[in-house]
Structure 1
């Protein structure tokens, strides 16, 4: 029997390929920011973007790749961590260090560089680049990975980092679910459905993240059952 939940050295190359495709999609989606005629992304005529006929799917729908990222995260987390978290062999502190140590250094460096760039741009031309809420409050929210937790006024500084902000919340929710609840397909499906309902009703990023992340967990459990 293949023990997919225990071997951390295992690697599914299809996941790497999907990550690469998703990353490329996000790059294409945000490329439109360099063709703005004003501070709002909707002012871009996407049909005039470079090689639009070839890459129109990326230009028009690249934002959906974020949902794929959340789904892949759910798959990988349930594959790599669900058993050790459920059995108590990894503490919450160790889990947090493992995850945040991979994200926080680059996050802080990027935030500082973007803050400097936004400040220079405001000084030179009197406007920020795309994201307008670049004050001290939003800087602190970004510093704490809280830029998209519902207490912000809007996108700020490095706007695309909203997905990482949601991902950090998903880490905590994942750990709590694995530690306190049984890892069952029906339970994960219910949490995923709840997330999508929250997104549909309230249009908040956390619903989008929860729905896709736990859907990825469902896919892993189905995959594990098939490969057993």
Structure 2
């Protein structure tokens, strides 16, 4: 099952993260009206994790057979070709500047950088979230088996929600301790270690299973509730709650938002299903993973030197346009064809679904 209207939300989240990293000097984003949104847009990574859990369950939760080999091949095909291309761009940048990080290269190639304190943001910083996703992919067959073999929705719901609650309590408690002690190793554990983000993936899995088993036919116009929930997300970011939303706390809003967008047949869905918007969603992975090499290779200094442009807003959008164009080309000529080629290999090791 493919839900096209969700695809465009990936683009919105990816662009928000790019603004969070590189657009804070622009007057468009650095003002009293919207700055609280984009200065906290790192929560969009949490949205990605929740959405990943939801989409994975949508894709596999209703299948009568599950091939372990095909599953891992498909996951590899989905992320690694473009992920590795981004590594090559960063490697080129480091060779050019004679600042080669061999340890970061090694850890990023193996996608294990988030397990090593102090290395999560080394080499290609956005790649940390793919290291976390790698763990999600590894545990998903077990999670799927839990839902399918032990088809007790109530029990699974209680277990996952309790795990999510305990994860939030632990995270907020430890984060308060971190703020008092400023421990870099504690920060790496809290913000980037894959174990701290499992709750987001699992709550997304639960929402996906609930969707396909209970409510996928309840389609209607949910434009207004969608807008209300988006407003509540903005309100949560605006209010001085003294909470950190990096570890899935906003799942209480992301889950209903994802479900309602999936069920919606109103104007928002009609708009989001336009081919242009779906394509932008499809290149969102490129926008996310290529942002660091693109903004590093095409620096503000270089733009000022060669084009004599120094306005932060113009410089940011010029680099953003280049990022979107490159992401489009890499999607068409790298991500999609290589992914299809990897998936096309002979499929074996079919495992009967216990259901």
TM-score for both structures, normalised by structure 2? 0.48
Answer yes or no: is the 8 Å Cα contact 2:113–2:119 preserved in 1: no
Q: 1:204 to 1:198 in 2, by over 3 A?
A: farther
Could you tell me how far apart the structure 2 residues matched to 1:198 and 1:83 are? 33
For each residue in 1:76-108, what CA deviation from the matched residue of structure 2 results, as whole angstroms up to 9, or x when unmatched?
111111343xx6x22322111001112111111
Match of 1:107 in 2: 83
Does residue 1:172 correspond to 2:138, yes or no? yes
Match of 1:25 in 2: 16
**Structure 1 residue 151: deviation in Å?**
5.6
Match of 2:66 in 1: 90
For each residue in 1:24-63, what CA deviation from the matched residue of structure 2 results, as whole angstroms up to 9, or x when unmatched?
211111215xxxxxxxxxxxxx4x4342226414431110
Cα RMSD (Å) = 2.6
Match of 1:49 in 2: 26
Could you tell me how far apart the structure 2 residues matched to 1:220 and 1:171 are? 15
Q: 1:174 to 1:74 in 2, by over 3 A?
A: same
Q: How many aligned positions are there?
A: 192
Does residue 1:76 correspond to 2:55, yes or no? yes
Answer yes or no: is the 8 Å Cα contact 1:75–1:219 preserved in 2: yes
Matches within 5 A, 1:51-200: 51=28, 52-53=30-31, 55-84=34-63, 89-121=65-97, 123=98, 135-150=101-116, 153-180=119-146, 182=150, 184-197=156-169, 199-200=171-172
Larger radius of gyration: 2
Gapped runs of 5+ residues in structure 2? 175-188, 218-355
Answer yes or no: is the 8 Å Cα contact 1:167–1:209 preserved in 2: no
Does residue 1:220 correspond to 2:208, yes or no? yes
Could you tell me how far apart the structure 1 residues matched to 2:14 and 2:196 are? 18
Could you tell me how far apart the structure 1 residues matched to 2:160 and 2:4 are? 22
Q: 1:222 to 1:139 in 2, by over 3 A?
A: same
Answer yes or no: is the 8 Å Cα contact 1:192–1:213 preserved in 2: no
Could you tell me how far apart the structure 1 residues matched to 2:162 and 2:116 are? 23
- Find the residue that maps to 1:203 and give its secondary structure: helix
- Equivalent of residue 197 in structure 2, options 197, 209, 215: 209
For each residue in 1:144-185, what CA deviation from the matched residue of structure 2 results, as whole angstroms up to 9, or x when unmatched?
111112465442111111001100101111212222563632
TM-score for both structures, normalised by structure 1? 0.72
Match of 2:312 in 1: none
Could you tell me how far apart the structure 2 residues matched to 1:143 and 1:218 are? 31
